[in-house]
Amino acid sequence: MYDTVGMRLFVEDGRGISPMESVPPRLDRLTGCSHLQGSEYVSGLLGGLHITVRPHSVRVSKGSLCKWHLGDNLRTLDRKATQEAVEHLSDTLHLPMDEADITRLDFGTNLIMKHPVSLYLDKLGELRHSKRTEASNGLYYWGNGKVLNFYDKNRERKSAGEPIPELYAGRNVLRYEIRYTKRIPQQLNRPYVTAADLYNRAFFDDMLHRWRDTYRAIQKINDKIPEFDMIRRKSDLYRLGVLLAAEAEGGKQALNRRIKRMQADGKLTKKQAHDLKDAVDEACKPRPGFTSTSEAIEELDGKIRAAVKMY
């Protein structure tokens, strides 16, 4: 489940370890600077990992630990593989990397779906305290020190010119991951997080549950349009009208994008656009006899549950 993992290992005096002497010979494409504003460092690559070395610290700042250890990140680092990856890195650098503080943590997996990935992205709505952003390479939820990303994994690999393994060839592969980028101990309610914690059973289970629960907290967009004979009140009729407008436009997200464009063109005031979006959100909430959970969301819910049980 782990992918990119940022680490920083501080090496205290007296341990008999000199990072500036031992680590750079193991790196490729070295760059460095001496005494820049009193700082000395060397940077380089260890496979796809970006390593920065200073007199008393070593930092892994970029690159997929999963891809470095397993050869690609279509496979996943479970607890056992994560421990093996950290031990592999420790042996390679001749440093106790299990003691390193975690500075970034990407947690997710690939889900093989029935339909094109774009269908599922259109069914994922707002998430409290996060900014929902649609991009050419997927769907993002930007929070405070945390980013959720849903995207088409095969499309990403094709864009990067990377081959697609036989297991995933011709299939719809949805990647869902959470990226913790700041204040990781505070976000995970821990005094500190080290590389050794990553393969601790309790820690790994907590990460799984956070991954699942964050997905569950996203508002889901439902798509069943009621029969007219279900209409009982004026509010039902208004709601039906909004649902039909969303269906005609191509879905809730498409209707909200149109409202946003109208505001940008000066056809709606900020308040008018806000009120219309609220009406769309309210109409699309599940209600017995009116809307129900879409088949796509039911499938995705099941895939998330299965992934939690698997690991």
Give the pLDDT confidence score for residue 76 in this predicted structure: 84
Number of helical (H) and strand (E) elements in the chain, helices listed first = 11, 10
Give the pLDDT confidence score for residue 254 in this predicted structure: 80
List 4's β-bridge partners, or say none.
64
Radius of gyration of the chain (CA): 24
Q: Domain residues of the chain, as ranges?
A: 2-7+67-217, 228-292
Give the pLDDT confidence score for residue 131 in this predicted structure: 92
Give the pLDDT confidence score for residue 5 in this predicted structure: 96
> With 80 as the cut, is the pLDDT of residue 38 above it?
no
The H-or-E segment that residue 223 falls in is none
Q: Band of the pLDDT at 223, cuts 50, 70, 90?
A: low
pTM: 0.81
The whole-angstrom separation of Cα 224 and Cα 136 is: 27
Label residues 20-31 b or e (16+ Cβ within 10 Å = b). Answer: beebeeebeeee
Measure Cα distances from 161 to 139, 167, 173, 194, 237 in Å. 21, 18, 17, 34, 51
Going by C-alpha positions, the residue among 65, 46, 48 that lies closest to residue 106 is 65
Going by C-alpha positions, the residue among 202, 226, 217 that lies closest to residue 284 is 226
Token readout for 16 is 């008999």
Token readout for 233 is 């009140």
Question: Among 89-103, 123-137, 238-252, which stretch is predicted with the lowest mean pLDDT?
Answer: 238-252
Q: Band of the pLDDT at 247, cuts 50, 70, 90?
A: confident
- 257-304 pLDDT, tens digit per residue, is 899 999 999 999 999 999 999 988 888 776 666 666 678 999 999 999
- 192-202 pLDDT, tens digit per residue, is 999 999 999 99
- 281-292 pLDDT, tens digit per residue, is 888 776 666 666
- 180-195 pLDDT, tens digit per residue, is 999 999 999 999 999 9
